[in-house]
Amino acid sequence: MSRIAPKVTRWEVGGTADDELPSDLAARIRRRNGAATIYDIAELAGVNPSTVSRALSQPGRISKTTEERVRAAADRLGFQVNPMARALPTGRSHTIGLIVADITNPVIFGIIRGAEHTAAAAGYTLVIAESQESGEAEAEAVSRLMPSVDGLILATTRLADERITRLAARKPVIVINRQVDGIVGILPDIEQGVIDLVSHLVDLGHTAIAYLFGPETSWISRRRWEELLDAAERRGVSAVEIGPLSPTIDGGRAALRSVQATRTSAVIAFNDLMAIGFIQAATAAGTRIPEDLSVAGFDDIFGSELILPAVTTVRAQLELAGERAVAKVLEALGDAGDPVSDELLATTLVVRESTGACARA
């Protein structure tokens, strides 16, 4: 008795190529709107569903040949692992939450890129939420994310230390640009960055420096001011604080009148956005930068070298901060490879045209 081969049909996978699939398998997948299951993969690969599960979720637990056959079948069917389904037996969603203060701030771009790169390489999904510089909005975002993520990264957080500590008792929590007792923090070398910037201005002949303070609840703004006071005292120059101010271009613009009243010859802004805003307002008012007033910022964001004059700044390793934050979450979850460094992230002084010799020297 002759054996009749199963009828096959042309099946488009991922909208890019045609594959031949058994017609009954193709029909079942069509009825599910193209969503393949591990049972479909098992049928196509000629293995048990349990083998498919091990191949996709626990690489190395089965033979290399079988694993390759399963993965080829999964790719052919356009199969995507459902992280929520995977969380049922393991308690893990393979998802990491990243909460940022202002997603429009270019500082965040590098952090997100670094975090996404490291998360994706480990098979994790990065979920991003924004607090819009509001502690209340940040708390709400945390409440939404905590039940569905394995760990949380708070970048430029506005939460109180006590709240962060309570969150860390539930799941791994990493903070960027913040220091909280008992919590892993990813920090730049604040002291060295401020020393380099103050030394640069003093060497140019400046003896009075104004600091544009960022948000009132910003830990790193407060630390920069404290380090600036120490550096100014060591170099025998004066320093004055102006703010708190919004960490935006508008915040920098709003500081012009206060700075003019101080009679200082140099301005250090909390970040480059504020420095850019201040330069715009000063130039519009007839103040020449840097001939009349030197201006500098922090972070070396995209755009800081596009304005005229380009902004002198302290460059931070933003992508590395994102990478290391995710790596620290994975380390806490037991999914990290090599131990993650605890060293401060190096900073670099980038001298551009917004700072120059003091005209009053």
Provide CB contacts within 8 A for 255, sequence distance 6+: 212, 242, 243, 245, 267, 269, 274, 278, 281
pLDDT value of position 4: 41
Dist. CA 131–CA 341, nearest whole Å: 28
CATH homologous superfamily for the domain 91-187+319-333: Response regulator (3.40.50.2300)
The number of residues making up the chain comes to 361
pLDDT value of position 3: 40
pLDDT value of position 172: 92
pLDDT value of position 51: 86
**Which H helix or E strand runs over 295?**
strand 294-299
Express each pLDDT in 248-270 by its tens digit: 999 999 999 999 999 999 999 99
pLDDT value of position 6: 39
pTM, whole model, 2 decimals? 0.74
pLDDT value of position 90: 54
**Which H helix or E strand runs over 221?**
helix 219-235
C-alpha 316: how far from its chain's center? 12
91-187+319-333 and 190-315 share one fold: yes
* Positions of the chain with pLDDT lower than 70, given as ranges: 1-19, 33, 58-59, 80-91, 337, 360-361
Domain topology for 190-315 = Rossmann fold (3.40.50)
Express each pLDDT in 286-321 by its tens digit: 999 999 999 999 999 988 999 999 999 999 999 999
pLDDT value of position 106: 87
CATH homologous superfamily for the domain 8-81: lambda repressor-like DNA-binding domains (1.10.260.40)
**Domain locations in the chain?**
8-81, 91-187+319-333, 190-315
Dist. CA 196–CA 19, nearest whole Å: 61
pLDDT value of position 82: 60
Compute the chain's Rg from CA coordinates: 27
* Secondary structure of residue 243 in the 3-state scheme: coil
Contacts by 70-75 with C-beta closer than 8 Å and gap 24+?
A: 70/41, 70/45, 72/45, 73/41, 73/44, 73/45, 74/36, 74/41, 75/13
pLDDT value of position 85: 55
Dist. CA 134–CA 99, nearest whole Å: 12
